[in-house]
Amino acid sequence: MSPKYRPEIDGLRALAVLPVILFHAGSQVFSGGFLGVDVFFVISGYLITTIISNELAQQNFSLINFYERRARRILPALFVVMLACIPLAWIWLTPPDMKDFSQSLVAVSVFASNFLFWKESGYFDGAADIKPLLHTWSLAVEEQYYIFFPLFLMLAWRLGQDRLLWLLVSIFGISLTLAHWAAHYMPAAAFYLLPTRGWELLVGVFCAFYLNRFERKNNLPTQIGSALGLAMVCFSMLVFNEETPTPSLYTLVPTCGAALIIVFAAPGTLAVRILGHKILVGIGLISYSAYLWHQPLFAFARHSSITPPSFALLSGLSAASLFLAFLTWKYVEQPFRNKKLISRKVIFSVSAAGIIFFAGVGLLGHLKNGFEKEIIDNRLSGEKRHLYTIISNNTGYDLYDYMVQKDCNLWVRNTQDLDPVKVDACAAQFGQATVILGDSHAMNLYNILAKSERFPFLIGVSQGGCRPHDEGETCHYRAFEDFLSENKNRISKVIYHQSGSYFVEDKNGKLDSQWAFAGEYGGIHKDNIDTVIAYLQHLKDAYNIRVQWIGPFVEYRFDPMMALSYPGGTDVNPESERIFKIVEQAIRTAVQAHNFGDYIAFSDIFTVPLKGIEGECFMFRDKDHYSRCGEDLLASEYAKNLEALQ
């Protein structure tokens, strides 16, 4: 038996999906719009548990009926969107992106896309917002929940509801604890995987158990509770942002807010009057299809231009996703949910055929390397084919796999990984070491200096995403100080280097934003510069050691593969060249103000070409890191003043 229809739940769906879409469109108003997915998880947990528990109580629960309902609800609309993505991918995606897309087709088909995107979520992975099926990770989490939770309830139901509830509370506590820990130490796993998302679904489960025992009544407590829940959901969407650990204890705000709405939003309450408005209910009815459509539209728009699409365009595509969602809801979702119109045999046959088809297309695309030969032969001229070869040979690899490790050139993510015996032996042979410290750009610098063969004892301590002004739990700076205190006699000096784009804001105040390099430059984040100087001065004073800051290099700030489609695409983004001159001046001004005397510009050490391509070398691995051959050229032909670093 299905639960009695509650229009305010559809209104809550609308409140969840609209901020998600606008957040992905680049709206800064809904800085926490991504939390709409967390609200969806609560709703799913509530609705599914209500259905299953009612049927178990009446002893008429059937797994095949349950999976039939899930197939009717989820797969037809999903298959339509996936089918629409294939020709668009053929038109716009380059072979590397097509290979990624093909893998996602397979993963979505077998309900495992969250695992794929988790494994792809390394620091050097391509931008998430250009993956057409990225958003299906949340569907995979729900589908995995649909597989395991009904079986769990069937087995545990005989324990009685009280014992079952305490068992679920224990699982909830374990999942939430794991999520909060992983959000700080394994954030990608925390974000994508069911064990760290399960507690959010269980919030909805608890709502179902509560409402099985207690009726909703329109009184003062329910008025207050449902209004508070609405405020909590809205607060999280408007105030939280990408820096908020998710999922974690912070995520209790939107999830518990959704729970308060579900539990206390009785007819006549303010929350029901707001969420039950026919516009919100209408959007809620098409929310699933709207969620499916918006990410592919945005992703292909980003693939179709060398510069990011404007917010106006993405706003238009947001409206288009709602229009397509209405058509999909009316002509796909509704018919397939009608058991009189489409039988169980047909829905299972369509589901099996769709899974086999999309998995087959995806597997073929993977095996054919993103249909590389077909795309090159059909879309590229002879000159562009040669350019493609140069770009593909120098991009798309993981920088961590190509760090120079030879003799006494030693690189680690963290000094805890250094072999003290090796350090002692190198110190005995070559004297004091030069240390390269910083983020992923320091990884580039370390490789350049190691390849120059001018630094016999060189230690690199660096990793992506770690800087003094945004140091995470897994970063290396605290451990480095311990190493420095124990080994300062073995070190001649510390050279610091980092990406300059983390000193650059777009007009919405976001750091490292491609928008800043596409006409939306907003200014310099001076506090981050001051933080770096304060940290370097601290190292210098506390450990009585020379500390030198090498300024940032000018970043390419284009997708390398876009050079195939746009004139001048092989040159460094002109906006990047202009902005990094401003960055350089801002750093010099701050250095003088703080009386930090050991700063040198990157261009004072290397002759930096502002072309992406030099002979057979594409200088950049991606929009902001040098490639392997780029490092080689900087280490040899473009090194003009390495003496300044010795």
Q: Quick one: average pLDDT of 360-387? A: 91
For 179, 183, 466, 609, the CA distances from 498, given in Å and listed in that order, are 30, 24, 9, 19
Residue located via tokens 């140069």? 390
Q: What is the DSSP string of 541-600?
A: HHHT-EEEEEPPPPP--S-GGGGGTSTTTTBPPHHHHHHHHHHHHHHHHHHHHTT---EE
Cβ neighbourhood burial of 356 (10 Å; 0-12, 13-18, 19+):
exposed
Task: Give the burial string for 560-596 (b: 16+ CB within 10 Å, else e).
Answer: bbbbbbeeebbbbbebbbebbeebbebbeebbeeeeb
Please report, rounded to a whole number, the percentage of residues in the chain having pLDDT higher than 70.
Answer: 98
For residue 598 the two structure tokens come to 């050991």
Question: Of the candidates 331, 412, 289, which has an alpha carbon nearest to the alpha carbon of residue 14?
Answer: 289
**Phi–psi pair at 342, nearest 5 degrees:** -130, 120
What 3-state class would DSSP assign to 111? coil
Question: Of the candidates 359, 279, 289, which has an alpha carbon nearest to the alpha carbon of residue 326?
Answer: 289
Question: Of the candidates 286, 274, 158, 161, which has an alpha carbon nearest to the alpha carbon of residue 227?
Answer: 274
Query: For residue 370, is it left (φ>0), alpha (ψ between -120 and 50) or beta?
Result: left
Quick: pLDDT tens for 596-638.
Answer: 989 999 999 999 888 888 889 999 999 999 999 999 999 999 9
Give the lowest-confidence range in 25-39, 66-80, 119-133: 119-133
Residue located via tokens 């997708």? 559
CB 35 within 8 A of CB 237: yes
CB 550 within 8 A of CB 602: yes
Domain ranges of the chain: 7-374, 397-645
Q: Sign (positive/negative) of CA torsion 261, 267, 272, 278?
A: positive
Amino acid (1-letter code) at residue 279:
I
Please report, rounded to a whole number, the percentage of residues in the chain having pLDDT higher than 90.
Answer: 79
For residue 116 the two structure tokens come to 């794929």
Quick: pLDDT tens for 503-549.
Answer: 999 988 889 988 899 888 999 999 999 999 999 999 999 999 999 99
State yes or no: pLDDT of 23 exceeds 60. Answer: yes
Angle (CA) 315-317-560 rounded to 5° is 95
State yes or no: pLDDT of 445 exceeds 70. Answer: yes
d(CA 561, CA 306): 9
CB 115 within 8 A of CB 124: no
H helix count then E strand count, the chain: 25, 10
For 273, 414, 631, the CA distances from 548, given in Å and listed in that order, are 62, 20, 21
Cα-Cα end-to-end distance for the chain: 77
Residue range 397-645, CATH number: 3.40.50
Instruction: Work out the number of other CB atoms within 10 angstroms of the CB of residue 544.
Output: 8
Among 18-32, 148-162, 189-203, the range of highest mean pLDDT: 189-203
Per-residue model confidence (pLDDT) at position 123:
43
Cβ neighbourhood burial of 444 (10 Å; 0-12, 13-18, 19+):
buried
Instruction: Work out the number of other CB atoms within 10 angstroms of the CB of residue 341.
Output: 10
Give the lowest-confidence range in 85-94, 302-311, 597-606: 302-311
Q: What is the DSSP string of 245-307?
A: -SSSGGGHHHHHHHHHHHHH--TTSHHHHHHTSHHHHHHHHTHHHHHHHHHHHHHHHHHT-SS
Per-residue model confidence (pLDDT) at position 124:
42
d(CA 551, CA 173): 46
Quick: pLDDT tens for 155-197.
Answer: 998 888 889 999 999 999 999 999 999 998 899 999 999 999 9
CB 511 within 8 A of CB 504: yes
3-state secondary structure 464-529: CCCCHHHCCCCCCHHHHHHHHHHHHHHEEEEEEECCHHHHEEECCCCECCHHHHCCCEEEECHHHH
Q: What angle separates helix 137-156 from helix 36-57, to the nearest 10 degrees?
A: 30
CB 408 within 8 A of CB 435: no
Q: What angle separates helix 526-543 from helix 477-487, to the nearest 10 degrees?
A: 20
State yes or no: pLDDT of 279 exceeds 80. Answer: yes
Per-residue model confidence (pLDDT) at position 344:
94
d(CA 447, CA 111): 40
Per-residue model confidence (pLDDT) at position 125:
47
d(CA 476, CA 459): 14
Average pLDDT, the chain: 93
Per-residue model confidence (pLDDT) at position 2:
54
Residue located via tokens 């917002």? 129
Q: Quick one: average pLDDT of 491-513? A: 93
Q: Quick one: average pLDDT of 392-401? A: 91
CB 255 within 8 A of CB 42: yes
d(CA 334, CA 330): 6
State yes or no: pLDDT of 297 exceeds 90. Answer: yes
Per-residue model confidence (pLDDT) at position 568:
65
Quick: pLDDT tens for 543-595.
Answer: 999 999 999 999 999 888 887 777 666 889 999 999 999 999 999 999 999 99
Give the lowest-confidence range in 237-246, 319-328, 450-459: 237-246
Per-residue model confidence (pLDDT) at position 127:
65
d(CA 51, CA 163): 20
State yes or no: pLDDT of 1 exceeds 50. Answer: no
Output the pTM of the full model.
0.86
Gyration radius of the chain over CA positions: 27
